[in-house]
Chain A
């Protein structure tokens, strides 16, 4: 508790004790009134003062005004009629307890959430004359060497120049399995160094480093307000004056009607009391505080799980996602091509075939040639390769050990007039021929990510109705991946621009606008699609600035299961928002009705105000707990 809150707590305690004590003091008349005013002013002077200031500044309708009028009115009734002042004090007392609780709860969740996101490094170590010196990471220039000891946070992005270690990336990705780094490896700020001493050459300034970008993104996230929040602030603006006017009407109209039209006693005091009850119930605090708090907690909890949501509005859209469009490569599959099968023709063996293919392709930087070299696994002796002729869209013909080796697709074999074995397996087939004789084929395919199938099943159970996969790859590859993962629709052989058109078609096909379409990509080449969809999700974004910029939701690691997690988190958060909205509005309207009918007294009114607020705030804090979703 801070100073302000402690002071408030004391005021509440003193006032409550006095109020109870006065109950046993047998005085009447003005002395009684004067005595009761002591606890009233102790607990409520600031509210009264703010109400006066509000009227002075022509900001009449706020909760201070409501409370001031209600309690002063109750005192007037006490003075003229019942001699009971407890009610006025109690209303003020409970109102202040509610406010105190609210400010305490909000303060606590602020602290909780900032602890969850505690990735800000406080210092960087620099070696000066053989001694380690701690400096502000802001002052470290690009290209400096920093030292990270075991247990410390990596303050700035860079490349490891010395040492090897394991890193804990949990704060960034929510992933608990440590990651290995060694000399030459890239390292991202915000990770915690676990085992060994690392020397790092920085490649970015602190302000441009991953950790700063993430902090900036998360801290500014809830500034983009959701529709629910906009609704609530509009609602509050209309609601408070409406209730005030209704209260005035309630105080004046029924008694006047009774007196003049029905010839009954006007019962002014009774109707006045009902109008005051009305005012106490009317305070919109529960709504106004609990909705932003729910979103804030939801975004905080999500970022702790490695899911960065750029605004409450996106969290809202994510929860309404019914159609999910995937980019295949890098999202559902590893995006790394691997040799999956080697089929030598007669007279050749596997190792020899791979060697020839790797050598023939050694001059190329195409992903295919890289995967061939990787599968070969040994240092290539480039001197064995003579002249190389690249045939675009077909393959290469190269001189290897004095022989003419051709490596390429069906087209190349046809061009060379070599009879080859056709393959209908999905993937890229590299045929090899030596001096015009068919030597065999190598199949290179992308691997499906572990957990991708599970992710699709989870998404389905999370309420995503339609799942579509888009890919630039061949139909056979797309079909196989879609079948294996259980995706119902796929479109293959698409150029990047086709993907935008396809997403636009899918957007047009929706039966209603409330069903949102999300696109998931790896942030490479798909920025236009990410921005065209209702919500763009980029994954595997650790260290990729482009993806962080383009997407609305950023998954820090590349586990597809995180997509389902993100949707579940958003659903939970929105469920809480709706619960709070309808609970608060429902209870208030109910109590207003009871108040107007004269059934509810001020004690019930206080529950409607403070009780609902406390319950709504406690419910909102639940949005923070998303680990086991």
Chain B
């Protein structure tokens, strides 16, 4: 399953860091962050609940970049 979320982040490198953090989150198969359109596309592993996974993703992203937001 693939879902796209709107995000807010200030710098391009921070966006790269968010992408990394999202990818490393369990339950996420792949993730791409597009800094220009401020969107995060997440592909979930099968049988995962996107809501629960995204809560973790947000937590991990906040860790690498405190000043970021994902609009779930």
What residue in chain B is nearest A50 (Cβ atoms)? B66
Distance to closest chain B CB from A364 (angstroms)? 47
Q: Secondary structure of the B side of the interface?
A: mixed
Contact B37 A59 (CB under 8 A): no
Q: Is B29 an interface residue (CB 8 A)?
A: no
Q: Is A36 an interface residue (CB 8 A)?
A: no
Contacts of A102 in B (CB 8 A): 11
Q: Known contacts A53-B66, A57-B64; decide if A110 and B36 are in contact (CB<8 Å).
A: yes
What residue in chain A is nearest B64 (Cβ atoms)? A59
Size category of the A interface is: 20 to 34
Q: Which of A230-246 contact B (CB under 8 A)?
A: 233, 236
**Interface residue from B13, B34, B37 paired with A62 (Cβ < 8 Å):** B13
Distance to closest chain A CB from B21 (angstroms)? 9
Q: Which of A95-121 contact B (CB under 8 A)?
A: 99, 102-103, 106, 110
Contacts of B35 in A (CB 8 A): 106, 292
Contact B12 A222 (CB under 8 A): no
Q: Is A296 an interface residue (CB 8 A)?
A: yes
Q: Known contacts A59-B17, A288-B12, A292-B12; decide if A223 and B39 are in contact (CB<8 Å).
A: yes
Q: Which of A21-55 contact B (CB under 8 A)?
A: 46, 49-50, 53
Per-residue CB contact flags for chain A residues 575-605 toward chain B (1 = under 8 Å, else 0) read 0000000000000000000000000000000
What residue in chain B is nearest A291 (Cβ atoms)? B12
Contacts of B48 in A (CB 8 A): none
Most buried by A among B12, B32, B64: B12
**Interface residue from A49, A99, A110, A225 paired with B11 (Cβ < 8 Å):** A99
Contact B17 A222 (CB under 8 A): no
Contacts of A248 in B (CB 8 A): none
Q: Which of B1-41 contact A (CB under 8 A)?
A: 4, 10-13, 16-17, 32, 34-39, 41
Q: Known contacts A59-B17, A219-B37; decide if A50 and B63 are in contact (CB<8 Å).
A: no
Distance to closest chain B CB from A125 (angstroms)? 29
| Chain A to chain B contacts (Cβ below 8 Å), 25 pairs | A46-B67, A49-B66, A50-B66, A53-B66, A57-B63, A62-B13, A63-B11, A63-B13, A99-B10, A102-B11, A103-B10, A106-B35, A106-B36, A110-B37, A219-B37, A219-B39, A220-B39, A223-B41, A236-B13, A236-B16, A288-B11, A288-B16, A293-B12, A293-B36, A295-B36
Chain B interfacial positions (CB closer than 8 Å to A): 4, 10-13, 16-17, 32, 34-39, 41, 63-64, 66-67
Chain A interfacial positions (CB closer than 8 Å to B): 4, 46, 49-50, 53, 57, 59, 62-63, 99, 102-103, 106, 110, 219-220, 222-223, 225, 233, 236, 284-285, 288-289, 292-293, 295-296
14 new A-B contacts at CB < 8 Å, known A59-B63, A220-B4, A285-B13: A49-B66, A57-B63, A57-B64, A63-B11, A63-B13, A103-B11, A110-B37, A222-B34, A222-B37, A236-B16, A285-B12, A288-B12, A288-B16, A293-B36
